[in-house]
Amino acid sequence: MSGSGLLKCWQDVPPGTVTFGATSREVETGLWRSMRPVLDAAKCVSCLKCWLQCPDASITTDSDARVTGIDFFFCKGCGVCAKVCPAGAISMCPESDFLSAPAEASRGASPGKAGELFGA
């Protein structure tokens, strides 16, 4: 099942009650978001406070442990990161401001479900 994409019907569901590890990574919880955290890279000092506090593990970091951005496929827009940021580098903006932005709602090249739903 892992890597096969979102399950479409009951026949896709594996028998028994064993689920495979980390398969929830196929679920786009970013669809819930009404406010979007916007990272100002110039202000960010990579203290990792947002990374430590994010309930959804949506803060992305590079190999030097510097904050690179926010994974909008999973980010639910709770705003915890903006509140704990000591540098004021994250601001919360209404998700509706981003409807025209192409292909940004999701990870990778796919526009993601949010994009499809709102016709972006």
Partner 1 sequence: MSGLNIKEMTKREGPLCEGHRMCPGCGAPTAVRQAFMGIDDPIVVVGATGCMEVSSTVYPYSAWRVPFMHVAFENAGAAISGIESAHKALRGRGMFRENIKFVAFGGDGGTYDIGLQALSGALERGHDITYICYNNQGYMNTGAQRSGATPKSASATTSPAGLKLPGKLQRPKNLTEIAEAHDIPYVAQTTLHNPMDVITKVKRAVETKGPAFVNILVPCPLFWKIDPADQAQVCKLAVDSRFWPVYEVADGEYKLSYEPKKHVPVEDFLKSQGRYAHLFKRDAVRTDLIESAQRDVDAQWEKLKMRIQSSQR
Chain contacts with partner 1 (rule: CB under 8 A): 1, 7, 13-14, 17, 19-29, 32-33, 48-49, 51-58, 61, 63-65, 71, 73-74, 76-80, 82-84, 92
- How many CA atoms does the CB half-sphere of 89 hold within 13 Å? 19
Q: Measured from the CB of residue 55, what is the shortest distance to partner 1 in angstroms?
A: 4
Alpha-carbon span 104 to 45, nearest angstrom: 24
Nearer to partner 1, 80 or 120 (CB): 80
Residue closer to partner 1 (CB basis): 32 or 118:
32
Q: Taking a C-beta distance cutoff of 8 angstroms, is the pair 74, 24 a contact? A: no
Query: Least distance from C-beta 34 to partner 1, angstroms?
Result: 9
DSSP symbol at 14: P
- Pairing relationship of beta strands 90-94 and 35-39 according to DSSP bridges: antiparallel
